[in-house]
Amino acid sequence: MSDKKRIAVLGSTGSIGKQTLEVVEAYPDKFEISVLTANNNADLLIDQALKFKPNTVVITNENLHKKVADILWNEGIKTFCGDKALEEVVEMDEIDIVLTALVGFSGLKPTLRAINAGKTIALANKETLVVAGEIVTKLAQEKGVNIYPVDSEHSAIFQCITGEFQNPLEKIYLTASGGPFRGKKANELAQITKAQALKHPNWEMGAKITIDSATLMNKGLEVIEAKWLFNLRRDQIDVIVHPQSIIHSIVQFQDGSMKAQMGLPDMKLPIQYALTYPNRLHTDFKRFNFLNYPQLTFEQPDLNTFRNLQLAYDAMDAGGNLPCILNAANEITVAAFLQDKIGFLDIAKINEKTMQAVSFQKSTSLESLIETDLETRKKALELIH
């Protein structure tokens, strides 16, 4: 029996998925890939499968199944297609850790199935906890499943509280780079183009999360995610803008002492920590030098100009299905912005209108959240057109 950790990477062709495979490749004696999944990028999925030789691959776009299967069949790699296959594959015995790097609401059902099957979760899909935090955390407790955060900010909090489990948190500070438009006012943002919004100053990420960073929605989703990951109240979660992205987040304990996790911006570090916890493996990543950063600065986020962060706080306060409504609306508005159908400031405006238009429910179930998600997408599209 191998002592390698067997990993399923859901969303292996995206930014986090690709970096996860780089981590796996660097430690062939520690990890092996059991499952790879992708939505539309069949060519890259085939290349990854040929290289890492997983037991199984899933392509959710059923039209691409034949293309993938024809090539991988000869390699003895099982190939499935569709959303159902994505949900079922996480239950395989040959998996120890499921790394969820899917974008948006699509990560929810596979993550719940993986928790139900008792798999350790490395979570890069914050929307899962935003939409259904109560359902996910409750199931994880019932099944005794650990959820290790892959987001750099939540990984930072997790690293700061390791060894401090007997000490309750007084407060956490999630740091935000402020994105490419930090300091700008609404009138300056009216004519922002897609190309400008996709240029993040510090991080290399996929299109959706890069736009979310520019609107501060990403930080809003992280606030809600932090509530569920660390069992916190609204008044215990603060957001502070830190343009250098060196301090990844901070915790404050009841004696007033604070711990921060620092390092150069590199997603491979939190990915690796989630896969190896509680151990740290030696890396050849570039090391931080204080003299290259003589000043680390901090400022308040501008909630008036960047309304999405305020909307996320509002959704967290209300609870129920409102975070689900906000998430679904935002997935639609960001896609519309990326297709040049709406302006940059319209993202938050339409998100807010959608939150007001879709019926609020205080108590939720998985079925009701799926209905809310569909209703919200429909309403957001109506408001766009």
pLDDT tens-digit readout, 156-173: 999 999 999 899 999 999
State yes or no: pLDDT of 204 exceeds 90.
no
Share of the chain above pLDDT 70, in %: 99
Checking if the pLDDT of 142 tops 90, the result is yes
Please compute the mean of the pLDDT values over residues 299-303 and round it to a whole number. Answer: 97
**What is the predicted pLDDT for the residue at 200?**
79
Kindly report the three-state secondary structure assignment for every residue of the chain: CCCCEEEEEECCCCHHHHHHHHHHHHCCCCEEEEEEEECCCHHHHHHHHHHHCCCEEEECCHHHHHHHHHHHHHHCCEEEECHHHHHHHCCCCCCCEEEECCCHHHHHHHHHHHHHCCCEEEECCCHHHHHHHHHHHHHHHHHCCCEEECCHHHHHHHHHHCCCCCCCEEEEEEEECCCCCCCCCHHHHCCCCHHHHCCCCCCCCCHHHHHHHHHCHHHHHHHHHHHHHHCCCHHHEEEEECCCCCEEEEEEECCCCEEEEECCCCCHHHHHHHHHCCCCCCCCCCCCCHHHCCCCCCECCCCCCCHHHHHHHHHHHHCCCHHHHHHHHHHHHHHHHHCCCCCCCHHHHHHHHHHHHCCCCCCCCHHHHHHHHHHHHHHHHHHHC
Instruction: Identify the CA nearest to 34 among candidates 14, 65, 66, 10.
Output: 10
What are the φ/ψ torsions at residue 200 (nearest 5 degrees)? Answer: -80, 135
Cα dist from 260 to 51, 155, 163, 250, whole Å: 38, 11, 14, 4
Token look-up 């005794």 returns 144
Work out the mean pLDDT of the chain and round it to a whole number.
96
The dihedral sign for the CA sequence 349, 353, 356, 361: negative
DSSP lists the bridge partners of residue 95 as none
Residues 6+ apart with CB under 8 A from 150: 16, 99, 101, 122, 123, 124, 267, 270, 271, 274
pLDDT of 385 higher than 90: no
Cβ proximity of 108 and 132 under 8 Å: yes
Tens-digit pLDDT profile for residues 11-27: 999 999 999 999 999 99
CATH 3.10.20.600 correct for 5-150: no
**pLDDT reading at 1 higher than 70:** no
Instruction: Look at 21-35, 152-166, 204-218, 272-286 and tell me which has the smallest mean pLDDT.
Output: 204-218
Does residue 241 contact residue 220 with C-beta atoms inside 8 Å? Answer: no
Q: In this predicted structure, what is the pLDDT of residue 201?
A: 73
Which two tokens mark 124?
A: 């890069």
Domain-wise residue ranges, the chain:
5-150, 160-265+289-307, 319-380
- Tens-digit pLDDT profile for residues 228-279: 999 999 999 999 999 999 999 999 999 999 999 999 999 999 999 999 999 9
The amino acid at residue 230 is F
Q: What is the pTM of this model?
A: 0.94
Cα gap 18→13, rounded to integer Å: 6
pLDDT, position 22? 97
**What does R_g of the chain's alpha carbons equal in angstroms?**
20
pLDDT digits (tens, 9 = 90+) for 39-96: 999 999 999 999 999 999 999 999 999 999 999 999 999 999 999 999 999 999 999 9
pLDDT band at 103 (very low <50, low <70, confident <90, very high): confident
Share of the chain above pLDDT 90, in %: 94
Q: Closest Cα to residue 126, out of 96, 106, 146? A: 106
- pLDDT given at position 2: 67
Mean pLDDT for the stretch of residues 351-368: 97
- Cβ atoms of 49 and 73 closer than 8 Å: no
- Mean pLDDT of the region 339-362: 97
Q: Which CATH class is domain 319-380?
A: mainly alpha
